[in-house]
A and B are shown apart, each in its own frame.
Chain A
Amino acid sequence: MPLTLAGIGEECRIKRVGGSPEMKKHLEALGFSVGGCVTVVHTLGGNVIVKVKESRIAVSREMAQNILV
């Protein structure tokens, strides 16, 4: 399921990172690697703040839908 549907505080494993190749690489450099863990900390109108490898990343809804967990 896309990251937008993950519950708050629930630790998920990333299955796939989609989107344009550029965006994908940028997300991966930020820590969104396949097999890695991600936790939604907070949501704001579809946009999410997630915890990835100890850092907090704000991701817009369009982007979050490209991250499958």
Chain B
Amino acid sequence: MNIRIALAGNPNSGKTTLFNALTGSNQFVGNWPGVTVEKKEGKLRRREGVTVTDLPGIYSLSPYTPEEVVARNYLTGERPDVILNIVDGTNLERNLYLTTQLTELGIPVVVAVNMIDVVRKSGDRIDIPELSRRLGCRVVEISAMKGIGLDEAVEEVLRAAESDKTQPVHRFSEPVEQALSAIEARAATGFPEAQRRWYALKLFERDEKILGKLQPDAAVAEAVEKEIQAVEQKLDDDSASIVINERYGYISDMIRHCYRKKNAGGLSISDKIDRVVTNRWAGLPIFAAVMFLVYYLSMVTVGTFATDWANDGLFGDGWHLLGIGSSAYEEAAEQYGDSDAIIQAYLSAYGNEELAAALDAESESYNAEAVGAALGELLNLVPADASVIYEVTDEETLAVTEYASGKTDLEAAVEAYLNTEYKAAPGAPTPEEYGVWVPGIPVLAANGLEAAGTPEWLDGLLLDGIIAGVGAVLGFVPQMLVLFLLLAFLESCGYLSRIAFVLDRVFRRFGLSGKSFIPMLVGSGCGVPGIMASRTIESERDRRMTIITTTFIPCGAKIPFISMIAGALFGNSPLVATSAYFIGLAAIIISGIMLKKTRMFAGDPAPFVMELPAYRLPTVGNVLRSMWERGWSFIKKAGTIILLSTIVIWFTSYFGVVDGSFRMLAEDELEYSILAAIGSGIAWIFAPLGWGTWQAAVASVTGLVAKENIVGTMGILYGAGGNVYASLAAAFTGISGFSFLVFNLLCAPCFAAIGAIRREMNSAKWTWFAIGYQCGFAYAVALMIYQFGLLFTGEVNVIGLVAALAVLAGILWLLFRPAGRRGLKKAVRTAS
């Protein structure tokens, strides 16, 4: 026995909770064909062969939002065996509007009155038998959250699927009914009996989608139109409104007979909360405080801790089990400080080869006694007034800092080196000695591969390609999970829709929705969860716009690269990083205004109409499930598209032709790689931006794997002379460096984020549009920066300047031209 149940109901009626309760973990999440509306299916618990399809939350079956179209097409096209209609018992009247439409479809309907516990608690009473009689279908009371009445509901649904024929009981006024009969006889005889009335009603409402589907011939269409006009004249309203008003009339009558309310009116707790959180003065500060908390928890405290662990521990060198020993190790390491660098600096200034050999920790003859003797001799060789400069390189940004040191520093360093009080052997302390040290995946994999004796290329593919690439992406998972958890909480408790309301006026101005703020805020930590957070935006148009612009904000991975440029070319000016944020913000605003005037996004922003669900404490299960669904879809992405991309980048950067033979390259031979060849091939494209060198082009390409890779690549390509920053300063001018910075800031994000864009757009065309737009916009801005910058230094390049002026004029025109009116209707249609 195969039974298909369709779960239908208003948004916020508890549909998701019911769906989760009915199906447990047997769920499959996908998309409805052609739209970005999520489709969920599941197998009913403890029953064989019963499938539950969760339809999107809808208010009616009219075809104006993508959700309604999806639901209606499914119900009329696939015709499930039974519809389980969940209605909010605390808001029966509005919810029954959909119910009366569902009962007209000729599919058995079972109505589940949800939140019955709340209804009972407030002293209200619902006359279930009477409601059932007036609706013409089975009615049960449930509480999806508390798990009340679910078994009974399932029983009723299965019984209805076997035997019932739901016939709508409600009748319209006499003129409408007469017209419906006439239309049914003229135009709907081709359908099974149970569906004729529905099609007749749709024709009466002049439903364009149904008209287009039926294609009645001219004579029939004319006869139908005549019937409609007769009724419209008689009742002095348009046919659709007549139907809607009579439907509500019937429902009000039904409510009067079935629903006994104990005390009417008064402000609910939700209303009182709303007075505060949407208050003109308090609204924005409260919102800022909530967002700060979300940001602080996910990006700074828990998130950073988790991401550090994932990046430096799991996908790095390793970590201390349960963190025991970490602080002791860090203390020891700090005490040890730069001792190695100081000793090395003096060794090269005053030492000799013999001493260097004795101090080589890698050598086989290395032993504590010889080291002690060698260091003692070094101290003897160094004059008392010696002063040597030593360098320390920052691992993240490759910044080199020089320190001056005297002989006393050397003495302290030697002591720290030899002191084994806080460590096992001479030299820097190692983390293994301070707790149970768990090696990271790369370390384990390297050891395993070494033991297995695998060929070098396989080692490289696995370690440098797959583990490094995918690991860099997966490292963000813990942080994302924390963030998704908090967002799921805000979403299901009802605050997110208030935020949208408060911010809507601000964001309307540049074509975005009030809900666009959250993706952007999140995107300042990592673009991937940022893009995924756009899912809470209902309007498809607003969502696409948000997805395209979110990654303009500098994410965490762009920070090392920004610091690198600032350090190498701008004397570590804090203005560089600040300007990066402002440029990102300006890019969003300018793009918003430009895009909303194009045909794709055209039209006035959809007027804001949105239900504010009553505040409620979400269930732990639902919040965790929502968090996991989003997190898992990202992890799956990392296993497919990101994996493939990193392998391609790895192959092209570690293989190449040296002296006429194709072979695998060492890390410092990047200049011979295929990637370098590609870089040289495309470098001319960037010449107008001021950095048409293959090195810069290659760095930008590797930035696609992960933006922090730009630093690593630059380190290899410009590191030959020893000091990366000095080589960078020689290769770039301030203007070309800034142009390079801005291009990489605004252009296509990393593969992980592109994967997220693909997932959220659910369309290859829109994904390419997003990437193309981002790269094009980045190119235009970088071009202007370089060419106008040259103008100030006096080295004007006439062709370039003309191009930059043309780009500027183009952008200004796109910004200030009057918006076309064509998209207006479309905008209204996509609004929900």
Contact = CB atoms under 8 A, between A and B. Distances in A.
A53 B94 contact: yes
Contacts of A62: 607
B831 interface: yes
Contact of B248 (A35, A44, A59): A35
Interface in A4-43: 19-31, 33-36, 41-42
B288 interface: no
A49 interface: yes
Contact of A30 (B497, B504, B611): B611
Given A54-B94, A55-B91, A27 B609 contact: yes
A41 B279 CA distance: 12
Nearest to A63: B607
Interface in A51-66: 51-60, 62-63
A45 B94 contact: no
A27 B244 CA distance: 11
Interface stretch (B268-276, B424-432, B805-813): B268-276
B60 A29 contact: yes
Contacts of A26: 59, 62, 64-65, 609, 831-832
Interface string B281-322: 001000000000000000000000000000000000000000
Contact of A31 (B93, B249, B274): B93
Contacts of A24: 241
B314 to A, nearest CB: 44
Interface string B481-515: 00000000000000001000110110000000000
Contact of B271 (A27, A28, A42): A42
A26 B97 CA distance: 12
A57 B240 contact: no
Contacts, number: 117
A54 B90 contact: yes
Nearest to A57: B611
B167 interface: no
A42 B275 contact: yes
B191 interface: no
B62 A56 contact: no
A30 B825 contact: no
B614 interface: yes
A44 B280 contact: yes
Majority DSSP secondary structure for residues of A touching B: mixed
Interface residues of B, number: 46
Contacts of A44: 278-280, 283, 501-502
B501 A20 contact: no
B241 A52 contact: no
B805 to A, nearest CB: 39
A31 B94 contact: yes
B245 A33 contact: yes
A24 to B, nearest CB: 8
A4 B280 CA distance: 16
Nearest to A19: B607
Nearest to B280: A44
A10 B61 CA distance: 31
B449 interface: no
B174 to A, nearest CB: 19
Interface string B35-64: 000000000000000000000000110101
A51 B271 CA distance: 9
A63 to B, nearest CB: 4
Given A44-B278, A49-B274, A55-B94, A30 B505 contact: no
Contacts of B497: 58
Contacts of B278: 42, 44, 49
Nearest to B61: A29
B501 A47 contact: yes
Nearest to B283: A44
Nearest to A35: B245
A63 B504 CA distance: 14
B610 interface: yes
A47 B501 CA distance: 9
Contacts of B504: 47, 60
B628 interface: no
Interface in B241-267: 241, 244-245, 248-249, 252, 267
Contact of B59 (A21, A29, A58): A29
B612 interface: yes
Nearest to A58: B501
B829 interface: yes
Given A26-B831, A42-B271, A58 B612 contact: yes
A54 B93 contact: yes
Interface in B597-636: 607-614
A45 B283 CA distance: 12
Interface string B760-785: 00000000000000000000000000
Tell which of B249, B497, B612, B831 has the most Cβ of chain A within 10 Å.
Answer: B612
A58 B445 CA distance: 56
A22 B91 contact: no
B828 interface: yes
A24 B609 CA distance: 11
Contacts of B245: 33-35
Contacts of A22: 64, 825, 828-829
B609 A29 contact: no
A26 to B, nearest CB: 6
Nearest to B255: A53
A8 B62 CA distance: 32
A11 B165 CA distance: 40
Contacts of A27: 609
Given A31-B97, A42-B278, A23 B828 contact: yes
B248 A58 contact: no
Given A44-B280, A47-B608, A25 B91 contact: no
B84 to A, nearest CB: 20
Nearest to B249: A35
A33 B97 CA distance: 11
Contacts of B94: 30-31, 52-55
A20 B267 CA distance: 32
B64 A58 contact: no
Contacts of B502: 44
A35 B505 CA distance: 30
B241 A34 contact: yes
A6 to B, nearest CB: 16
A22 B98 CA distance: 17
Contact of A21 (B240, B252, B283, B614): B240
A12 to B, nearest CB: 14
Contacts of A36: 248, 252
B423 to A, nearest CB: 63
Closest 5 CB pairs of A and B: A29-B60, A60-B608, A54-B91, A29-B59, A33-B248
20 contacts: A19-B607, A22-B829, A28-B248, A29-B59, A31-B97, A42-B271, A42-B278, A44-B279, A44-B502, A45-B505, A54-B90, A55-B91, A56-B270, A56-B614, A57-B610, A58-B497, A58-B501, A58-B609, A58-B612, A59-B609
Given A34-B241, A58-B610, 15 more contacts: A22-B829, A25-B64, A28-B241, A29-B60, A30-B94, A30-B609, A33-B248, A34-B245, A47-B501, A47-B505, A47-B608, A53-B91, A58-B609, A59-B607, A59-B609
